[in-house]
Amino acid sequence: MTNNIDPVEIENVEIVNTDEVAVAETKKVKQPKNPVIQNDIMRYKKNKFGANLALLGLALGCLYFLVLYAQVKNNNFYYKWPIAIDVIYNLFFLLFVFLFSEQVKNYNRKMFPFQLIIGGMQIVRIFWLPLAGITETAYCHIVGVEFGGAAITTGTFIFMTVCLAASGACIIASAIIGYIRAKSVEDFVKKVEAGEVDLNAELKKEENVGGEVDA
């Protein structure tokens, strides 16, 4: 038994389905975000991205000096006074970078220059102890025979270099992002206080746009 289907009915079904898809696509279209509203929201949100970048730089710095201190052994190349200076510097490094992360999180750009300096110092440190360890000759005695070679392996040098470079890059990036966002928030607050921006009007405009989209 054969079912007879009217071609006209098929066309009508296709048209209806096409219209439904068009309506669905129209509803999915998002309206562009209001920059005034976004700046207002930023005042009450923490700058977690910039702060987390600083903390990542701190963690990479920790990895570096853990590997460096593992190379310190009795009477070897690193068993000298420079390692003591490095230990003291790392204590201040941990303290300041954590402080920087809190400053960035709260849109405070007063310590921006110091954060850039600390980030740059991480990169400069590559040319101190890590470079000295791979270029200087260290000697050891095995069964009465003296052997000479680099104080650290090439792999160790590369790992410490990557950690320091990445740490410095994260801290500098955190400083730049923190400065830009803090400056943006400060400028917006000044405009609001000066009456150049009417938040109530912008909120009403946003509500009207939202109502039209829902309709």
Residue 42 lies in a domain: no
Residue 173 lies in a domain: yes
Query: DSSP letter at 140?
Result: E
Residue 157 lies in a domain: yes
> pLDDT-based confidence at 44, cuts 50/70/90?
confident
- Provide the whole-model pTM: 0.71
Beta bridge partners of 150: 137
Encode pLDDT of 89-117 as tens digits.
999 999 999 999 999 998 888 889 999 99
Encode pLDDT of 66-78 as tens digits.
998 888 775 666 7
The span from the CA of 152 to the CA of 70, in Å, is 10
Mean pLDDT of the chain: 76
The more confident residue out of 135 and 145 is 135
Residue 57 lies in a domain: yes
Decide: 152 and 134 in contact? Cβ < 8 Å: yes
Q: Which structural domain, as residue segments, surrounds residue 55?
A: 47-192
Distance separating the N- and C-terminal Cα atoms of the chain? 48
Decide: 179 and 76 in contact? Cβ < 8 Å: no
Q: Which of 81-90, 130-139, 144-153 has the lowest mean pLDDT?
A: 144-153
Q: Which two tokens stand for residue 41?
A: 């929201």
Residue 122 lies in a domain: yes
Residue 64 lies in a domain: yes
The more confident residue out of 83 and 142 is 83
The span from the CA of 203 to the CA of 215, in Å, is 18
Identity of the residue numbered 169: A
Q: How many domains does the chain have?
A: 1
